[in-house]
Amino acid sequence: MTENNLTPAAETDPPVSETKSPTSETKPSSAEEVLLGEGDLVADYLEEFLDIADLDGDIENSVVNGRAHVVIDTDDTRLVGKEGEVLEALQELCRLVVMTETGNRSRLTLDVAGYRARRRIELVAIAKDAIAEVTESGESVRMAPLNAYERKIVHDEVAAAGLVSESEGEPPHRRVVVSK
């Protein structure tokens, strides 16, 4: 009988962040190679996780905006959960896998069933509405509470429009305030 252990099977592989000594003939890994290595660790972990949970999905690994970006391509949204709560927890587990295997903190992002991609489009539209309201009225706009990932998307959109934004409040009620 197999043990239902959620650690990656490739425990004998050396950590991705390991570099060769200065006397070796190969160069240290580039930043992108390190990030792809993080994604590979997570992909192995997620493949085993999906097998244990008897869920279908294809895993893709890439680098987006200087972060490892892993996608589970599936029609099953159980790993997304209500408002992305399960996805957030699974992403944190994936980051812990990287930290355990490499000793380095990861800023890896995980998307399941296209949830984050769809949510990004929604957030950009919401940010643009807030930007238009501030530009038109001159008054600050307080947005609904968002998680850190979502607030970052809004802050970036506001900065690109030449306005100011800041976060206020404590999680889970932390929100973005947009002003001139």
Is CATH 1.10.1040.10 the right assignment for the domain spanning 31-113?
no
Cβ atoms of 126 and 143 closer than 8 Å? yes
Question: How do beta strands 109-112 and 67-73 pair?
Answer: parallel
Cβ atoms of 70 and 93 closer than 8 Å? no
**H helix and E strand count, the chain:** 4, 6
Half-sphere exposure of 12 (CA within 13 A, CB side): 0
Fold agreement between 31-113 and 117-179: no
pTM (2 decimals)?
A: 0.77
Residue type for 54, please?
D
The interaxial angle of helices 85-102 and 31-53, nearest 10 deg, is: 120
**CA angle at 35 for the pair 29 and 36, rounded to the nearest 5°:** 90
Residue spans of the domains in the chain: they are: 31-113, 117-179
Residue of 165, 163, 166, 159 lying closest to 136 (CA atoms): 163
Backbone angles phi, psi at 14, to 5 degrees: -70, 155
Is CATH 3.40.50.720 the right assignment for the domain spanning 117-179?
no
Instruction: Give tens-digit pLDDT for 101-145.
Output: 999 999 999 999 999 999 999 999 999 999 999 999 999 999 999
Instruction: Give tens-digit pLDDT for 5-37.
Output: 443 333 333 333 333 334 444 444 599 999 999
